[in-house]
Structure 1
């Protein structure tokens, strides 16, 4: 199998972390591509009609896309327990919160990095940040107990989301007032799966 990805993408990094946590490096090849929201690379369009990364090209079936679909597929492929049945819905809600933070943070990046300054909307940027900040605060205040115990998809998704905030929006200071989550992330960021997937 081959994962089409770009290292800065938090969605792709989520899957790259998962691959390492499940010891699937010999099973899934990583194919780095250069693509943008305004100019999708031909190889990703061929794999995913939406032109989004990541996409998992399989030898024995159609290409899978959307990080949540790929994560569930690889978890099942490895026979692993990243979606523990005893708290499946909570774990998936934490994953969804992380994905929502990514969505807002990526939207901000697109607005400032891909659009001319004269076309940028400060109100849109601030609205997206408010969504991301509310998600971070909710995890810090409500969900910390679900970031304990054996690693699951919630840990992986949240680790990727917070790392992307550090990468693109560090000046926003998401750690302020979120001490518990900041401490968790500082420790989680030391895992080999995280250090090996830091965008160059």
Structure 2
């Protein structure tokens, strides 16, 4: 398998954490990309019309994207249990993944506003709106932190990657100050070999 990746992409990290947890990481060749919200990498676009990472190329030649699809494929390939197959836990885990991914979407949009948009066109109210989504997500997970426990599934992986991205790109955003339980959970989860092996930098 091959994956178009960026070492700083939290969505690529999510896929690679899943791959490590499933024992598949050594089977995935990383392909450099120049993915950008402004300039499309045409090498990636040949496999994924959106030109976005992660894009996984399977051994059978199928191109898969986005991170949710890639992670579910890897879980199926590795006969894992990152995606509960049925019952209430399945819907809880999928909802957690959606919320964590939504926090990441907001974090990326806020970063793009400052990092890629010309200064005279930057909109602070837009940035504030995205950061509010992140704050709401953090509060939700803090209120339900006991349900995270010792789980390793797509919900907790997505959340850990979102929190890791905040530390990476928003070092001054002290999210732990008001979310002590979540910070304690993340400290434990981020010590997993899969998280250490995929840390951005």
TM-score, normalised with respect to structure 1: 0.95
Q: CA RMSD in A?
A: 1.2
Partner of 1:29: 29
Q: Counterparts of 1:177 and 1:99 in 2: how far apart (Å)?
A: 21
Q: Counterparts of 2:90 and 2:61 in 1: how far apart (Å)?
A: 27
3-state SS, counterpart of residue 26 of structure 1:
helix
Partner of 2:153: 152
- Give the CA deviation at 1:2: 0.5
- Give the CA deviation at 1:147: 1.4
3-state SS, counterpart of residue 31 of structure 2:
strand
Q: Which segment is superposed worse, 85-94 or 69-78?
A: 85-94
Q: How do residues 58-97 of structure 1 correspond to structure 2 at under 5 angstroms?
A: 58-84=58-84, 85-86=86-87, 87-97=89-99
| 1:105–1:132 Cα contact (<8 Å) kept | yes
Cα deviation digits, residues 6-49 of structure 1 (max 9, x gap): 01111111001111111102322222322211012111111110
- Give the CA deviation at 1:146: 3.0
Q: Counterparts of 1:132 and 1:65 in 2: how far apart (Å)?
A: 24
Unaligned residue ranges in structure 1 (runs of 5+): none
| 1:54–1:66 Cα contact (<8 Å) kept | yes
TM-score, normalised with respect to structure 2: 0.95
Partner of 2:115: 113
Unaligned residue ranges in structure 2 (runs of 5+): none
| 1:91–1:146 Cα contact (<8 Å) kept | no
- Give the CA deviation at 1:91: 0.6
4+ aligned runs moved over 6 Å, structure 1: none
Partner of 2:163: 162
Q: Does 1:4 align with 2:9?
A: no
